Amino acid sequence: MSGIVYGLVGTPPGIAKAWTTINADGSQGTVYHNICVTDTGTGNRLIEFDGFDFASVAYAIVDGGMGYTEDDFDKFGYDNYAVGSVRMRLVDDGGNAKDLASSHVFFGDVFH
């Protein structure tokens, strides 16, 4: 496909294209490669890729919570996938929206 750049900033395929940490209050922590996080409500975050788009919505996300205890059974979910953004949702084991510090790493081919 024309326009696909395999790797970002000279990185080969299989290397993370972006990552971020999100604080429990919804503010953005550490970031790599222009990610913008918007707190859209309890347990909801809009993650936007600024300056690049993935080649398709078939990109991979690896995530994790920070500050968990062994009794936490919280779940991350993603929807509204687009090449330039994705919505992250977090709920507790009872299905209630919850805010929690988290980290997110994104893999996939990108357009420049």
Could you give the CA distance from residue 71 to residue 86 in angstroms, rounded to a whole number? 28
Task: Give the integer Cα–Cα distance in Å for 2 and 4.
Answer: 6
| pLDDT tens column, 27-70 | 888 888 788 999 999 999 999 998 888 989 999 999 887 766 66
Residue 92 phi, psi (nearest 5): -85, 180
Q: State the pLDDT at residue 66.
A: 74
Q: What share of the chain is helix, strand, coil (3-state, %, to 5)?
A: 0, 50, 50
How would you class 21 by CB atoms within 10 Å of its CB: exposed for 0-12, middle for 13-18, buried for 19 or more?
middle
Average pLDDT over residues 75-81: 90
Which position has the token pair 């949702």? 89
Interacting residues of 101 by C-beta distance below 8 A, sequence separation 6+: 21, 22, 23, 24, 29, 65, 66, 67
pLDDT of residue 112: 60
Q: How do the domains of the chain map onto residue ranges?
A: 4-111
The token duo for 103 is 């980290």
